[in-house]
């Protein structure tokens, strides 16, 4: 998919010896050639053995995007195309690296091909194909590609490097803390649990507002991020950037709960390969039900309302018995 795999390199920021979302995909798109930078980068490289060809490893326990851009620029200057995953650290590092290399940045690409990149625009309502006529830096949305298959017999060269120019600029901003976001507001592409509402929640006099409020309440109790289908986004019940699907955010969670979602092909194409799928809908023959490990054929808004009430009762000591007594 990349312009010229022989002159392409991935740059993958690592934290705590763990590859970020989209990291393995970026390496695969670069033909198995990558620079891994961060705390535990060498340990993270072990995840790519059998699927990568050349891994440059730079250990740096503290993420400082400006300093890192100076440090790694020389190591990837020979590559015509530098790919980074569009994870939070990748989004911080990419513009600084592009400026350091004097190259254009194509951010949030959903596809990279020979001489072009496809970028979403207008809240993911349309995709624009942009030509790549020279060296460039591109960030790839996690979930749009796939990791390279693992071949145990493949040989992977891992080299430690110590890039020059890594000293901190006294005036440079530095990271003082990293706080975990509220689950409902977490980046969908990185969430391990996702609850998505669809057209089946849009009925009623309020157009589905109460149903989505209940969905958010349930998702918060599950520690899950909230998303919506195209219909939900167009109805204004979720922000455009929380629209799930092939033309929206591509997700790949451990748990995917689809409530009132029929499962149109464009939606399913953006849901990756979750470990567990739960579908709630009135239609037992919907594509979403066919893709689910567990399907609940019921009134989705009614189920959400009941779950939200149950959660509130459990959170309020002394009210659970009253709720049972009221029937």
Average pLDDT over residues 228-248: 89
Average pLDDT over residues 293-302: 94
pLDDT reported for residue 210: 94
Q: In what order do the strands lie in the sheet with 8-14?
A: 105-109, 136-140, 81-85, 8-14, 33-38, 54-59, 157-160
Average pLDDT over residues 232-247: 89
- Both tokens of 98, joined, read 């592009």
Which has the higher per-residue pLDDT, 218 or 126? 218
Percentage of the chain surpassing pLDDT 70?
A: 85
Task: Report the C-alpha dihedral over residues 88, 90, 93, 94, rounded to 10 degrees.
Answer: -130
Please say if the pLDDT value at position 318 is more than 60: no
pLDDT (tens digit per residue) in 118-162: 988 776 667 889 999 999 999 998 877 666 555 655 678 888 887
Are both 5-160 and 183-325 of the same fold?
A: yes
Closest CA to 221 of 190, 182, 256: 182
* Residue 184 confidence class, pLDDT cut points 50, 70, 90: low
User: 5-160 maps to which CATH number?
Assistant: 3.40.50.620
**Beta bridge partner(s), residue 127:** 120
If DSSP codes are grouped into helix, strand and coil, which group holds residue 254? coil
223 Rama class: left (phi>0) / alpha (psi -120 to 50) / beta: left
69-78, 136-145, 260-269, range with the lowest pLDDT = 136-145
- Distance between CA atoms of residues 245 and 27, nearest Å: 23
* Residue 319 confidence class, pLDDT cut points 50, 70, 90: very low
pLDDT reported for residue 181: 66
pLDDT reported for residue 203: 83
* Residue 2 confidence class, pLDDT cut points 50, 70, 90: very low
pLDDT reported for residue 189: 77
Buried b (16+ CB within 10 A) or exposed e, 137-152: bbbbbbbbbebbeeee
pLDDT reported for residue 162: 77
* Residue 240 confidence class, pLDDT cut points 50, 70, 90: confident
Strands (E), 141-211: 157-160, 193-197
Highest mean pLDDT, choosing among 19-23, 141-145, 164-168: 19-23
Which burial class, exposed, middle or buried, applies to 254 when counting CB atoms under 10 A from its CB (0-12, 13-18, 19+)?
exposed
Average pLDDT over residues 7-19: 93
Average pLDDT over residues 8-31: 91
Average pLDDT over residues 286-294: 94
**Chain Cα centroid distance, residue 253:** 9
Please say if the pLDDT value at position 324 is more than 50: no
The pTM of this model reads: 0.68
- Distance between CA atoms of residues 228 and 278, nearest Å: 15
Contacts of 271 (CB under 8 A, 6+ apart): 244, 245, 250, 251, 252, 256
Please say if the pLDDT value at position 325 is more than 50: no
Q: What CATH topology corresponds to 183-325?
A: Rossmann fold (3.40.50)
Which burial class, exposed, middle or buried, applies to 273 when counting CB atoms under 10 A from its CB (0-12, 13-18, 19+)?
exposed
- Distance between CA atoms of residues 293 and 58, nearest Å: 41
Please say if the pLDDT value at position 6 is more than 70: no
Where are the chain's structural domains?
A: 5-160, 183-325
Which has the higher per-residue pLDDT, 321 or 212? 212
pLDDT reported for residue 270: 84
């Amino acid at each position: 998919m990349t312009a010229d795999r022989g002159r392409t390199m991935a740059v993958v920021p690592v934290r705590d010896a763990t590859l970020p979302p989209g990291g393995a995909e970026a390496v695969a798109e670069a033909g198995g050639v990558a620079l891994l930078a961060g705390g535990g980068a060498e340990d993270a490289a072990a995840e790519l053995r059998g699927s990568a060809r050349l891994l440059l490893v730079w250990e740096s326990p503290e993420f400082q995007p400006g300093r890192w851009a100076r440090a790694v620029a020389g190591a990837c200057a020979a590559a015509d195309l530098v790919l980074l995953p569009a994870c939070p650290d990748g989004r911080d590092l990419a513009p600084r690296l592009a400026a350091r290399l004097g190259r254009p940045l194509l951010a949030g690409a959903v596809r990279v091909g020979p001489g072009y990149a496809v970028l979403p625009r207008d809240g993911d309502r349309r995709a624009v194909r942009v030509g790549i006529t020279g060296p460039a830096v591109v960030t790839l949305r996690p979930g749009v590609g796939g990791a390279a298959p693992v071949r145990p017999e493949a040989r992977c060269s891992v080299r430690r490097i110590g890039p020059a120019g890594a000293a901190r600029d006294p005036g440079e901003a530095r990271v003082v803390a990293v706080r975990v976001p509220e689950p409902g507001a977490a980046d969908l592409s990185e969430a391990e649990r996702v609850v998505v509402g669809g057209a089946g929640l849009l009925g009623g006099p309020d157009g589905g507002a109460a149903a989505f409020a209940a969905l958010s309440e349930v998702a918060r109790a599950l520690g899950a991020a909230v998303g919506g289908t195209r219909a939900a986004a167009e109805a204004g019940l979720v922000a455009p950037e929380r629209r799930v699907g092939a033309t929206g955010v591509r997700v790949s969670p451990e748990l995917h709960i689809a409530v009132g979602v029929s499962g149109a092909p464009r939606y399913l194409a953006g849901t990756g390969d979750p470990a567990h799928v739960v579908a709630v809908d009135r239609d037992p023959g919907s594509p979403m039900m066919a893709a689910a490990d567990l399907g609940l054929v019921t009134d989705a808004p009614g189920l959400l309302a009941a779950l939200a009430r149950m959660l509130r009762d459990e959170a309020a000591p002394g009210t659970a018995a009253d709720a049972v007594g009221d029937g």
